[in-house]
Structure 1
């Protein structure tokens, strides 16, 4: 199976390639499809994805629901760690700490920049810092996603 970074790079060159890549991700992990995200960048050290503000992701006050934003954060975190870890290691989400900074009243864009180095026998927690920005570039939420990393059996 090709690495997520290579697959994203290859598909991104095609018309609707990013949409096709994102559909594949949502097929693998179906809950991500509930927010209808779009992966806009995936390379070593960086992942970005967006979601459109629409009724199905809104809360009772008409802003993007907190859990929809958490879902977007976990998407970029999972993609980046999957693309970054050596094949000898595996990961699983362990927790997420979030800070809601502003109302999320527009389309949103999540960004994660992270460049680790791992030995094949690494075991422990890794914290991935994700920012969610509105269409004006204002950070509306920050999330620290804790992933537990360990050797594959």
Structure 2
């Protein structure tokens, strides 16, 4: 899988906001992620990315310590990047495989989060990482996308799972082939069910669900 165009470089702080046509006719849902997008939508592009990076870093504390930068955050596409700093390097000076995996998890997790109603919670289930060539030593970026059909499926399925592909791109490379393709399998369940599981009440949830179905 190869991106049709090179991903954009990190946007500068003084970039003026652009008026873009919506890439989807679906109405955005309301949750903690989409509320942040709404609050920041009139900021200049560079300032908006910085604010979102800090805000999302507080939502997921570990991710906030890694330096991941949120460049594009939209219900149909999320682009995040990571600079090749000493803290994330491997033994040959490129970005460590674990850091790259985290980059992919962040892109796919946040695009799912942007489309998940507030009464549900997302959980990583499994992932696969395929390396196709050595990566360059510069900045890495990850892009995750969802179609409108996938977004509707998420919205209309209270409990489910989905494989979300993610392409990893090394921006200093001129290769026609992206070095890494990741597939993340994410699941989501109602928050009430997760809380019940934590309290050991899963059997009660199942009985209640069976009674509801039987009454219809």
TM-score tier by shorter-chain length is 0.7 to 0.9
Q: Size of the alignment, in residue pairs? A: 153
Which runs of 5 or more residues in structure 1 are unaligned? Answer: none
Higher relative contact order (CA 8 A, sep 6+): 1
User: In structure 1, which of residues 104, 109, 125 is the aligned counterpart of residue 141 of structure 2?
Assistant: 109
Mapped pair 1:35 → 2:74: no
Alignment map for 1:79-98 (pairs within 5 Å): 79-98=110-129
Mapped pair 1:134 → 2:165: no
Q: Which has the larger Rg?
A: 2
Secondary structure, in 3 states, of the residue corresponding to 2:65? Answer: helix
Which runs of 5 or more residues in structure 2 are unaligned? Answer: 1-29, 193-216
Structure 2 CA distance for aligned equivalents of residues 33 and 87 of structure 1: 22
Please report the RMSD computed on the Cα atoms of aligned residues, expressed in angstroms. 2.1
What whole-Å deviation, never above 9, does each CA across 1:3-34 have from its counterpart, x for those lacking one?
52452354254252211111111112121123
TM-score of the superposed pair, with normalisation by structure 2:
0.64
Runs of 4+ in 1 over 6 A off after TM superposition: none
Higher strand share: 1
TM-score of the superposed pair, with normalisation by structure 1:
0.87
Q: CA deviation at 1:100?
A: 1.6
Q: Note closer, same or farther for the CA distance 1:139–1:13 as it changes in structure 2 (3 Å cut).
A: farther
User: In structure 1, which of residues 23, 26, 30 is the aligned counterpart of residue 57 of structure 2?
Assistant: 26
